[in-house]
Structure formats: structure tokens, C-alpha cells
Amino acid sequence: MAKSLASEETFKLYSDLLATVGLEQKGKNMPYTSMNGNMYSFVTKEGYVAIRLSEEDKQEFMDRYNAGPAISYGATMRGYVHVPDEVLKNTKELAAYMHKSQEFAKTLKPKPTKKK
């Protein structure tokens, strides 16, 4: 797996956000959250945080924060938004979207695990 271009500050802000909302961080080099085999937030290889939202919440987030879709490895990640750095620094405000992201993840079809 490629090394992330994320700064230590980005990793810390992401970890702090997850701790604030009581979510478990998975992954060491590329931190993420997931439920039932579906990832719903992560630190991208490109160095920013992306969160997965319903279409309605995604559009609201993009309009409110002038954010774009998440792009990783040159491909647009369907359902994910790029969290601008200034929004990531506002843990209290972003926490509401993390809750929405987690609630949306609960509605996704579970994926089988590959662990034995």
C-alpha cells in the first residue's frame, strides 16, 4: 500500500475527531472507519480526509463548505466528499457529519469479510 501524503496534523485531527464522536479507528498507516465491511471515512493517500454520506447529505456538505468529491488514485470515489482542512479543524461541526456518515453506513449492504 502506498504511503499517505497526509501530515501528522491531519492524522491527529482525524484521530481526535473519531475519539470525540466515539468511533473506532482502524488501520495504522491509512486510518479509516468501517461498518459491516463498508468503509465510511478514511485518510486518503493524497493526504486529506474523506467521508461517505448519503446523496442528500453529500450535496449539503459540498454546498456548505465549497467541498468537492473525494478523489483517490485519480478516481472519483462515489459517495465520498473531500473534507477541507479548515473543516477538519472544526471537530464540533464535523462531528455532526461523522454521525450522519455512520448512520448512512448502517444502511449499506454488508460485505463479507476476507479474514479467516
Could you read off the pLDDT of 91-105 as tens digits, one per residue? 999 999 999 999 999
116 inside domain:
no
80 inside domain:
yes
pLDDT value at position 111?
87
Contact 97, 51 (CB under 8 A): yes
Number of domains in the chain: 1
The structure's pTM equals 0.90
How far, in Å, CA of 104 to CA of 12, rounded? 24
Task: Pull the grid cell for residue 63.
Answer: 454546498
Residue 115: pLDDT band with limits 50, 70, 90: low
Please determine, for residue 1, whether its predicted confidence score (pLDDT) is greater than 80: no
How far, in Å, CA of 94 to CA of 100, rounded? 10
Q: Which residues of 58-70 are buried (b: 16+ CB within 10 A; e: fewer)?
A: beebeeebebeeb
For residues 7-31, average pLDDT: 93
113 inside domain:
no
Domain span at residue 88 reads 8-107
Here the CATH number for the domain that contains residue 86 is 3.30.1460.30
Contact 13, 91 (CB under 8 A): yes
User: Of all helices (H) and strands (E), which one includes residue 21?
Assistant: helix 8-21
14 inside domain:
yes
DSSP bridge partners of 35: 38
C-alpha angle with apex 12: 3 to 56, nearest 5 degrees?
85
pLDDT value at position 73?
85
Q: Using DSSP, how many helices (H) and how many strands (E) does the chain show?
A: 4, 5
